Amino acid sequence: MRKIYGGTGALVAAAMFAAANPAFAQSKTITLCWAAWDPANALVELSKDFTAKSGVQMKFEFVPWPNFADRMLNELNSKGKLCDLMIGDSQWIGGSAENGHYVKLNDFFDKNGIKMSDFAPATVYAYSTWPKGSPNYWALPAMGDANGWVYRKDWFAKPELQAEFKKKHNRDLAAPKTWKELKEVAEFFQGRTIDGKKVYGAAIFTERGSEGITMGATSALYSWGFKYDDPKKPYSMEGFVNSKDAAEGLEFYKALYKCCTPPGYTNAYMQEGLDAFKSGQVAMMMNWFAFFPGLYKDEKVGGERIGFFVNPGQKVEASTLGGQGISVVSYSPNKDAALQYIKWFAQPDIQKKWWALGGYSCHKSVLGDPGFAKTAPFAADFLKAMNGVQDFWQEPAYAQLLQAMQKRLHDYVVADKGTAKEALDALIKDWQKVFKEEGKLK
Amino acid sequence: MQPAAKSSFAERAATATPEPLARAVRGLSDRAIAWLFISPTMALLLAINIFPLIWTIRLSFTNYRANRPNAEVVGVGIDHFADILTDPDVWASMQATAHFVFWTILLQTLLGFALAWFVDRRFRGHGFWTTAILIPMMLSPAVVGNFWAFLYQPQIGLFNYVVSFFTGLDPSSFEMIGSVKLAPWAIVLVDTWMWTPYVMLICLAGLRSIPDYIYEAAEVDRASKWRQFWTITLPMALPFIMLAVLFRGIENFKMFDLVNLLTNGGPGSTTEVASITLKREAFEKWRTGYSSAFAIILFVTVFGLANIYVKALNRVKSR
């Protein structure tokens, strides 16, 4: 019996010592959940500074993109305690705020002098606010991103190709400025033999399961003036989603898919695009800016062999928004340490380091730096893209809305079902049904 | 010797039973002891089968969504059932399922029976060939799905290369899993490759259960091999074939893994079988009430069809 008392006493003493001694704080660990991709590796590197300064150890749970939403939304819905910090997709913000998954950060920001006005307005709007545009913040803008393009500058520079292209199109073979120019370039390369290898025009998003084809097709749709609803009458979609221009944009995306993608490119997203580009199969690739630092550094295909360009305009200049904000999960038992991380991450010097390591800072001190555009070959395009980003619905029912769009777009673009107008009309019906269930439409 | 050993074991067991327990058991009837033994299994069955089923039925009449734990759950009556049964997209997925089930069962039954008949000849090396034929069904569906997705790859896949070798077509000129016309057949082909051995195994058991003396009597009556096949082999193996059809039918009606890995329901919704639609509704759109109703419709369909089929099977067996 005395032994038991003795043991308990030792445990209590150890616990008291741990509480009093900061060195013991090192045993505190928080877990950050995000997608498994290049910027996540940069964040691991960056976070070493947080551990050094705070003594809080960092654990990371990175899930590949195709399973990211399923895995993490399951975690949130089941009130799991795996993640203390979540870098969740921008579309999750409505659901996560309304269902109580994320901690509201307004008071914390006020208390710690973190100002949302220090971040690019488009990123605050997209990554942090719910209801949209209101001063209710559920995340700190963490990773700015948009859909952009990368091309084989070395192929474009070949004199014989330059001459042939100029003869055919009466302009230089260069990074396209409109979608129609992009298609001409893609057609020019499609099936051509370069360095003894058959190559193709462009790698674009066609993936069916998660969000791929929606993210790809909206890059064209936005440029044709597609809108989700009437700006004056929310949720009124007739004439906006299925406008003549929107149908034309969708027809164009299908034409690009049909003419200029590699064989078997029916279910391709980020990774398939990277594989096609890195293996020298395609002249151009649509992908998120987040991958560009890694591509530029790639010894085999990177450096001066490649160039970057912002999503081409057609009727308007626009890009599909990617990127995420960082939130504190309300089920976390380590909320204080998680908030401490956000406070650390919001500092301008950490944001500068974040950009230097390959993450895309949304902080004005980074983006507004006069020298920013020259810090990387894709930096200027990133700034341009972020000025015209548009995002998918961020409603709590976003998953249902997204799945409907995935189905209608894939049915039309890949499976040749119906016309563009019919696909968009059917999409409106799907979305109206969702909004009626949500009580947002009568 | 044997009874003595048994008795000594029983005695030892009796001695080892703690006295309070022995006294309690001694007072129980045989029926009570039987209940005592099966009650853990019954409890487990209730907890992991019956309770979820009842809960699913309850949810199917509500608007419950698993991703909105704090939202009010409201009864919606039979709205979900009506929506499902009148939704053209659901019927399209049922058609895709029917296509898949019909063709896989037809091909697997024909090929499985043919292989069983072939292996039953007991030629030299038939043991080796039996084992070789069984290999595909021993693999994990996840491995098979990924493996065939690579084989079907139009640029580097072996399948396209083999087809091009025999037909002279350009390997990248056709896409098995990306084409609306070919994708439904691509999944039928993979399932047939994987599960024909299973049907073969059941048919082989049927063929081996036919007593040799029946064939000997037929020989004496100078019945031709063809007649022996139609009047002895097929009728006697029929209950086994029907059993294989039942097993494969149930499995393929709820097929998910292979289709998910090969086509994920695409291109478009061409190969979106019912289980893929169900998964999308339940875990991507988070319409838990709606997907519960859909699951019940699928369950009732399979259960109903299987019951009708079992009755037919019993009639065949009793002949």
Which residues on adjacent β-strands are paired with residue A310?
Answer: A148
Comparing A64-68, A374-378, A381-385, the range with the smallest average pLDDT is A64-68
pLDDT at site B121: 85
pLDDT at site A17: 43
Closest chain A residue by Cα to residue B74: A437
pTM over 0.95: no
pLDDT at site B2: 47
- Å between A132 CA and nearest CA of chain B: 19
- Å between A329 CA and nearest CA of chain B: 15
Q: For residue B103, is pLDDT > 60?
A: yes
A176: Cα within 13 Å, side-chain hemisphere: 27
DSSP symbol at B197: H
> Could you state, in order of their start, the residue ranges of all structural domains in chain B?
2-59, 79-317
pLDDT at site B68: 84
B125-144 pLDDT tens trace: 888 888 999 999 999 999 99
A19-58 pLDDT tens trace: 444 444 446 899 999 999 999 999 999 999 999 999 999 9
Angle at A3 between CA A2 and CA A6, to 5 degrees: 85
pLDDT at site B20: 75
pLDDT at site A20: 45
Structure tokens at A265: 């490119």
Among A266, A330, A407, A431, which would you mutate to test the B interface (most chain B Cβ atoms within 10 Å of its Cβ)?
A266
pLDDT at site B69: 78
The arithmetic mean of pLDDT across residues A212-226, rounded, is: 97
Chain B residues 50-79 with a CB less than 8 Å from chain A:
63, 66-71
Cα separation, B87 vs B95, in Å, equals 13
In contact, A277 and A202? CB cutoff 8 Å: no
B228-273 pLDDT tens trace: 999 999 999 999 999 999 999 999 999 999 999 999 998 999 999 9
Structure tokens at B162: 């083999």
With an 8 Å Cβ cutoff, are B285 and A74 in contact? no
Chain B residues 254-273 with a CB less than 8 Å from chain A:
263-270
* B192: region left, alpha or beta (phi > 0 left; psi from -120 to 50 alpha): alpha
Q: Which of B172, B266, B283 sits opposite A263 (nearest CB)?
A: B172
CA dist B12 → A9, B16, B25 (Å) = 47, 6, 16
With an 8 Å Cβ cutoff, are A77 and B286 in contact? yes
| Signed CA dihedral, B64, B65, B70, B72: sign only | negative
Q: For residue A283, is pLDDT > 70?
A: yes
Q: For residue A421, is pLDDT > 90?
A: yes
Lookup result for tokens 């013991």: A24
pLDDT at site A27: 67
Comparing A3-12, B136-145, B157-166, B293-302, the range with the smallest average pLDDT is A3-12
Chain A residues with CB-CB distance to B178 below 8 A: 264-267, 414
In contact, A337 and A56? CB cutoff 8 Å: yes
Percentage of chain A beyond pLDDT 90 is 85
SS (H, E, C) A379-433: HHHHHHHHCCEECCCCCCCHHHHHHHHHHHHHHHHCCCCCCHHHHHHHHHHHHHH
pLDDT at site B7: 60
B133-188 pLDDT tens trace: 999 999 999 999 999 999 999 888 999 999 999 999 888 889 999 999 999 999 99
Closest chain A residue by Cα to residue B83: A433
Among A403, A409, A411, A435, which would you mutate to test the B interface (most chain B Cβ atoms within 10 Å of its Cβ)?
A411
pLDDT at site B256: 95
Chain B residues 111-170 with a CB less than 8 Å from chain A:
153-155
CA dist B104 → B100, B147, B194 (Å) = 6, 19, 10
Cα separation, A267 vs B264, in Å, equals 9
Cα separation, A186 vs A198, in Å, equals 13
Confidence category of residue B19, pLDDT binned at 50, 70, 90: confident
Cα separation, A91 vs A93, in Å, equals 6
With an 8 Å Cβ cutoff, are A209 and B264 in contact? yes
CA nearest neighbour of B249 among B283, B296, B199, B197: B199
Percentage of chain A beyond pLDDT 70 is 94
Cα separation, B194 vs B200, in Å, equals 11
Task: Specify the fold of B79-317.
Answer: MetI-like fold (1.10.3720)
